[in-house]
Structure 1
Amino acid sequence: MNEEQVIADLHGRWVFGWDRREGDEPFDFRRVFAEFYDFGSPDVRLYDDFDPEHRVATTAAGYGEIWEPAFREMISAHHAVDDGPHVIAGAGLAASTLRFVARIVTPDGATDIRTTTSLVWHRTPDGWRIVREHNSTRVLSPGELDGRFGDA
Structure 2
Amino acid sequence: MNDEQVISELHGRWVFGWDRREGDTPFDFERVFGEFYDFGSPDVRLYDDFDPAHRVATTAAGYGAIWEPAFREMVSAEHAIDDGPHVVAGGDLAASTLRFVARIAAPAGVTDIRTTSSLVWHRTPDGWRIIREHNSTRVLAPGEFSRALRPGTPAPAG
| TM-score interval, smaller chain | over 0.9
Residue 49 of structure 2 is aligned to residue 38 of structure 1: no
- Secondary structure of the equivalent of 1:146? helix
Q: 1:18 Cα shift?
A: 0.2
2:142 is aligned to 142
**1:2-81 alignment, distance < 5 Å:** 2-81=2-81
1:129 is aligned to 129
Q: Contact 1:47–1:135 at 8 Å: present in 2 too?
A: yes
- Secondary structure of the equivalent of 1:120? strand
- Secondary structure of the equivalent of 1:61? helix
Q: 1:106 Cα shift?
A: 0.4
Distance in 2, matches of 1:128 and 1:145, equals 31
Percent of paired sites with the same residue: 83
RMSD over aligned CA atoms reads: 1.2
* Bigger Rg, structure 1 or 2: 2
> If the length of structure 1 is used for normalisation, what is the TM-score?
0.95
1:84 is aligned to 84
Q: 1:143 Cα shift?
A: 3.8
Distance in 1, matches of 2:46 and 2:77, equals 20
Unaligned runs of 5+ in 1: none
> If the length of structure 2 is used for normalisation, what is the TM-score?
0.92
Corresponding pairs, count: 149
Q: 1:144 Cα shift?
A: 2.5
Q: 1:146 Cα shift?
A: 3.5
CA deviation vs aligned residue, 1:98-120 (integer Å, no higher than 9, x gap): 00000000011110000000000
Q: 1:142 Cα shift?
A: 2.8
Unaligned runs of 5+ in 2: 151-158
- Secondary structure of the equivalent of 1:116? strand
Q: Contact 1:112–1:143 at 8 Å: present in 2 too?
A: no
Residue 99 of structure 2 is aligned to residue 99 of structure 1: yes
